[in-house]
Structure formats: C-alpha cells, structure tokens
Amino acid sequence: MIKTPYGLQLLYGAEEIRRRVQELAREIRADFDGSKELLCVCVLKGAFMFFSDLVKHFGDNVTTAFIRLSSYRDGQKSAGGVRQVGRFAEPAAGKDILIVEDIVDSGFTLQYLIRYFKKRGAASVRSACFLDKPHNRAVKIKSDYTAFTLSENRFVVGYGLDYAQKYRNLPELYELKA
Ligand code: 5GP
Ligand code: MG
C-alpha cells in the first residue's frame, strides 16, 4: 500500500492498459508499411512506460529517440509555456516521425512538438498519445492515435505519470484525489 495524503482511485488496471496499448500498436503498425524507417520519439518523462509498451509491438525498421520537455504548470494546470530540456541530437530531416506522448491536455506540448519536427524537415509527423483530456484544450489539436479518453476532467497519476515525481512506477492509472 502507498501512504499518501491523497487518495488514489483506480481508473484503468494493468491488464486493461496492456490490451488497449497492444491494440493501438497494431493500428499504428498497419498505417506504416514498414518499408521506411519510423522514428519513434518518447516525450520524457511521462511517456516512458507507454512508449516501452508500445514500441515492443512495432517490429524492425524502427528507431527510437527521447526528448525532454518541461511545460510550465501552475499546480495541476498548464500555464501555456513549453520549454525543451537539453538538446535533441537525432536528425529528423526526411524521416517519418511518431511522437509518443503521455497526455494531451491544453495541447500546447503536442503543438510545440509537431512544429518542432516539421521545422526540422521531417517527411511526416504523427502522434500517439496515451490519454486525451479534452476538457482543458486551449489549442485546436488532436492526436492521431489515442489509447484512452477521459470523460471528466481529472488529474491522473501512475503508468509513467507523476505528482511531484511520485507514482510513475505504478502499472495502473489512477485519479489523484485531494
Ligand atoms: P498540455 O501541454 O497538453 O497542457 O500538457 C501536457 C503535459 O502536462 C502532459 O504531457 C503531462 O506531462 C502534463 N499533464 C497534463 N495533465 C496531467 C495529469 O492529469 N496528470 C499528470 N501527472 N500530468 C499531466
Ligand atoms: Mg508529457
């Protein structure tokens, strides 16, 4: 048991996540014919678990890269600014890119990433997102592939997602309740 001043309420169990991620991976794989390399970019830190589960199903002709972003957040809300942490060394020009992101909330982060890779001359840019939170959307953007969509506005942790760096290790997804 995890001792916390907050309550964790289970949203998706490990087996449900596993099945859905596998299904989504097959859908993505079917859209890329495999004759051309697919560069899968993990958006750190939140997407690390989703990324590792997803890319296992992709077979060969896949390369992986990692980018770290920090979005300015005021507590549990996005403040709109996105900043890259460190340098992204992987050449992107001419490549088919799949951005693998944890959550699309306001949409600022995904918008930043799509522009970033297009500016670097990617042949195509698509995105796979573990969780869509449509309630706080500030920019008109939709991920190409989505594993789950929240029907209510919730702050979630687990399966890579943190609150103050905690709970990332949990294999399930929870709502964090005050
Ligand atoms: P956006 O730029 O779309 O507002 O926010 C994207 C980032 O905010 C996500 O990649 C994620 O890191 C963080 N975020 C948004 N909602 C949640 C949430 O419910 N839980 C956690 N742990 N992070 C969130
Ligand atoms: Mg993120």
Residues in the chain predicted with pLDDT less than 70, given as ranges, are: 1-6, 72-80
Residue 77 lies in a domain: no
Residue 44 lies in a domain: yes
- Ligand 1-lining residues (CB < 6 angstroms): 46, 71, 78, 101-109, 133, 155-157, 161-163
Instruction: Give the pLDDT confidence score for residue 90 in this predicted structure.
Output: 86
Q: How many domains are contained in the chain?
A: 1
Pocket perturbation via mutation, ligand 1, pick of 84, 99, 105 by most ligand atoms within 8 A of CB = 105
Residue 82 lies in a domain: no
Instruction: Give the pLDDT confidence score for residue 166 in this predicted structure.
Output: 93
Instruction: Give the pLDDT confidence score for residue 78 in this predicted structure.
Output: 65
Q: Where does 30-172 show beta strands of DSSP type E?
A: 38-44, 62-74, 77-84, 96-104, 124-132, 145-149, 156-157
Residue 81 lies in a domain: no
Residue 157 lies in a domain: yes
Taking CA atoms, 13 is separated from 41, 59, 117, 145, in Å, by 25, 26, 33, 20
Neighbours of ion ligand 2 (CB under 5 A): 46, 102
Instruction: Tell me which amino acid residue 107 is.
Output: G
Instruction: Give the pLDDT confidence score for residue 74 in this predicted structure.
Output: 61
CA of 105 to the centre of ligand 1 (A): 6
Instruction: Give the pLDDT confidence score for residue 85 in this predicted structure.
Output: 86
Query: Which residue from 60, 57, 144, 49 is spatially nearest to 104, judged by alpha carbons?
Result: 144
Instruction: Give the pLDDT confidence score for residue 32 in this predicted structure.
Output: 87
Residue 117 lies in a domain: yes
Residue 125 lies in a domain: yes
In angstroms, the CA 6 to CA 100 distance is: 28
Residue 20 lies in a domain: yes
pTM of the model: 0.93
Q: Specify the ligand 1 atom closest to the Cα of 109.
A: 2
* Catalytic annotation, residues: 105
Ligand number with the minimum distance to the CA of 106? 1
Q: Which domain holds residue 38?
A: 7-71+87-177
**Which CATH number do you get for residue 149?**
3.40.50.2020
Q: Specify the ligand 1 atom closest to the Cα of 161.
A: 22
In angstroms, the CA 173 to CA 154 distance is: 11
Q: At 72, is the secondary structure helix, strand, or coil? A: strand
